[in-house]
Amino acid sequence: MKLILLGAPGAGKGTQSDFIKSALKVPVISTGNLLREAIALGTDLGKQAKAYMDGGNLVPDQLIIDLMKEKLQSSDCANGAILDGFPRTVAQAEALQSFSDVDIALSFEVPDEAIVHRMAGRRTCLKCHSVYHVENNPPKVEGVCDKCGEALTIRRDDNPDVVLQRLNVYHEQTEPVKHYYEQLGKLRSVEGVGEVEEIRDRIFAVLGLSV
């Protein structure tokens, strides 16, 4: 199955993708994680992407389209994939349609106020990509990833000014992608507010999966 996760930054796509991955047994491809890795490694892609990401803006479409085309053609994705953070513009969705089928686009619906609160307390593991929240989903030991023991960090683009810019970009450039998949009859929506397990159960119900 090829599943797209749509939603504002901080809507819970990364957290929920872990559960969906275990149920579907296909890899998660997160463009944000791939770009952060490219920045950490100092690759050309990372150098080109960094300023856009730090400012809360989208990286140019063609860079992301080339990256995803290559990823989706790899043998890992032969049985499908969960795409977290792609497509983020209608141009990306159109390009994806030209080289890969999509089964479902699942949109996480979360009000902007909840996003701002979540991002303010978000802590991220840059090594294994686990995501925590200081109040709603704290790690067992403060500042340390439960899964791999790495120190948790605050993403540079989670600072409040950049979060507001990312939300603007989401409404202007990514929300129209929902309409694109609605017209194709592939859009499903899920309320992304509540306990992590509650949201997981809603998603599994929509996708017809068992926990």
Is residue 122 flagged as an active site residue? Answer: yes
Which residues on neighbouring strands pair with residue 82, listed in sequence order?
3, 28
Give exposure, 71-87, as e/b (b: 16+ Cβ within 10 Å): bbeeeebeebbbbbbbb
Q: Which CB sits closer to ligand AMP, 32 or 192? A: 32
Q: In what order do the strands lie in the sheet with 104-109?
A: 28-30, 81-84, 2-7, 104-109, 187-191
C-beta of residue 133 within 8 angstroms of C-beta of residue 154: no
Q: Which CB sits closer to ligand AMP, 123 or 166? A: 166
Give the shortest CB-90-to-ligand AMP separation in angstroms.
Answer: 12
Residues engaged in binding ligand AMP (CB under 6 A): 9, 31-32, 35, 52-53, 56-59, 64, 85-86, 88, 92, 157, 166
Give the shortest CB-211-to-ligand AMP separation in angstroms.
Answer: 26
Give the shortest CB-208-to-ligand AMP separation in angstroms.
Answer: 26
Is residue 25 flagged as an active site residue? Answer: no
Q: Output the CA angle 8-9-12, nearest 5 degrees.
A: 85
Active-site option among 2, 36, 118, 122: 122
Residues recognised as catalytic = 13, 88, 122, 155, 166
